[in-house]
Amino acid sequence: MSDYSFKSKHIISMRDLDRAELDYLVETAGAIEEGRIKPDMRGKIAALLFFEPSTRTCFSFESAMKRMGGEALLMKGTGATSVKKGESFTDTLKTIERYSDIIVIRHAIEGAARLASEVLQLPVVNAGDGANQHPTQALLDLYSIKKTHGTLDNLKIGLVGDLRFGRTVHSLAQALASYNPEFYFVSPGFLEMPAHIKADLTARGIKYTEVSEVEPVVPELDIMYVTRIQRERFADPEDYERLKGSYIIDLKTIEGAKKNMKILHPLPRVDEITVAVDSSPHAYYFDQAENGVYMRQAILSILMGGIQK
Ligand code: CP
């Protein structure tokens, strides 16, 4: 392990992390998976506050904490909390802060995790805020790409699907920007990558091409990152009905792919990758979900000072 002092207290947005921090997180996740380091979280408690539904993020954080000997307080929705009696968001957080050592928060409102980091003394981890950011997903995506390709540098990456509302692709594009990628943004016009992300990439000298069809770019790609059309973020259900099923990746779609092209997906999927693709050597999305545990062990232990150098 490199000797490195992690600078960030919180993980809220990919723009807050520099390349050295990203490398350190990826390196730490690898060392944890391979058993070279064993973070000790005994006596530590993580509060996992999920104001929005989750399977992978929530359970992988819980699994990560338990594998390190720590414990987790789990809130799945506000139904059984005093939010139902009218307690404010910040009062809820300031109370739970007294019971835990780190706060992991998912919320439908963009900026909720940033606000939490401003009112709390504890480290705060953004587990997804609306259509904005999902930085811990991007970190496990980096770790997955490093495992499959041996490097993060100079890769050709296709981001496919809902690039407008898909927070994972916003974070991943900004994370990969530290590694000189060439991007293909594949989406219908209505769901294109937000202008502020594209402006950020341009300012950092990153090349991207926007297209509406996936097949022509498949032979170029090292990574095809497929996303669900985010039904819950559409203001007009008719737009969702018009755009759902825009991309369905099947075995024919990937016929011309490079041998080591890997398909990633943050999951859950609806219909954008057929089940037949799961047994293809290109499919990597369930391994990717497993990698989330190692990366979240790295995140929790680094932010709580549990890595022994
Ligand atoms: N990838 C991801 O965030 O999945 P969940 O919504 O199930 O946590």
Is the residue at 6 inside a domain? no
- Selected catalytic residue, list 10, 28, 44, 57: 57
Q: Based on the domain organization, do 166 and 104 belong to the same domain? A: no
pLDDT at 2: 65
Q: Based on the domain organization, do 123 and 35 belong to the same domain? A: yes
In the structure, which protein residues have their CB atom closer than 6 angstroms to any atom of ligand 1?
Answer: 54-58, 128, 137, 266-268
Q: Based on the domain organization, do 65 and 186 belong to the same domain? A: no
Is the residue at 3 inside a domain? no
The boundaries of the domain holding residue 77 are 14-133+292-303
pLDDT at 306: 72
**28 counts as catalytic:** no
Is the residue at 5 inside a domain? no
Q: Mind listing the pLDDT tens digit for each residue in 268-300?
A: 999 999 999 999 999 999 999 999 999 999 999
Q: Based on the domain organization, do 202 and 219 belong to the same domain? A: yes
The model's confidence at residue 5, banded by pLDDT at 50, 70 and 90, is confident
Helix residue ranges per DSSP H, 80-207: 89-96, 112-119, 135-149, 167-176, 195-203
The model's confidence at residue 247, banded by pLDDT at 50, 70 and 90, is very high
pLDDT at 308: 62
Ligand 1: residue of 49, 51, 54 to mutate (most ligand atoms within 8 A of CB) is 54
Q: Mind listing the pLDDT tens digit for each residue in 177-214?
A: 999 999 999 999 999 999 999 999 999 999 999 999 99
Spatial separation of the C-alpha atoms in residues 307 and 198, rounded to whole Å: 36
Q: Based on the domain organization, do 216 and 268 belong to the same domain? A: yes
Please report, to the nearest 10 degrees, the dihedral formed by the alpha carbons of residues 131, 137, 143, 145 taken in order.
Answer: -50
**85 counts as catalytic:** yes
Is the residue at 224 inside a domain? yes
Q: Based on the domain organization, do 115 and 259 belong to the same domain? A: no
Q: Based on the domain organization, do 163 and 272 belong to the same domain? A: yes
Q: Based on the domain organization, do 151 and 297 belong to the same domain? A: no
Is the residue at 124 inside a domain? yes
**147 counts as catalytic:** no
H/E element holding 25?
A: helix 19-33
Q: Based on the domain organization, do 126 and 143 belong to the same domain? A: no
Spatial separation of the C-alpha atoms in residues 237 and 194, rounded to whole Å: 20
**134 counts as catalytic:** yes
Contact 224, 261 (CB under 8 A): yes
Q: Based on the domain organization, do 143 and 19 belong to the same domain? A: no
Is the residue at 7 inside a domain? no
Is the residue at 104 inside a domain? yes
Tally of domains in the chain: 2
Rounded mean pLDDT, 243-266 = 96
Q: Based on the domain organization, do 177 and 279 belong to the same domain? A: yes
- Selected catalytic residue, list 10, 134, 167, 228: 134
Q: Based on the domain organization, do 108 and 191 belong to the same domain? A: no
Q: Mind listing the pLDDT tens digit for each residue in 46-83?
A: 999 999 999 999 999 999 999 999 999 999 999 889 99
3-state secondary structure of 224: strand
CATH number of the domain that residue 42 is part of: 3.40.50.1370
Token pair for residue 17? Answer: 């992390």
Is the residue at 248 inside a domain? yes
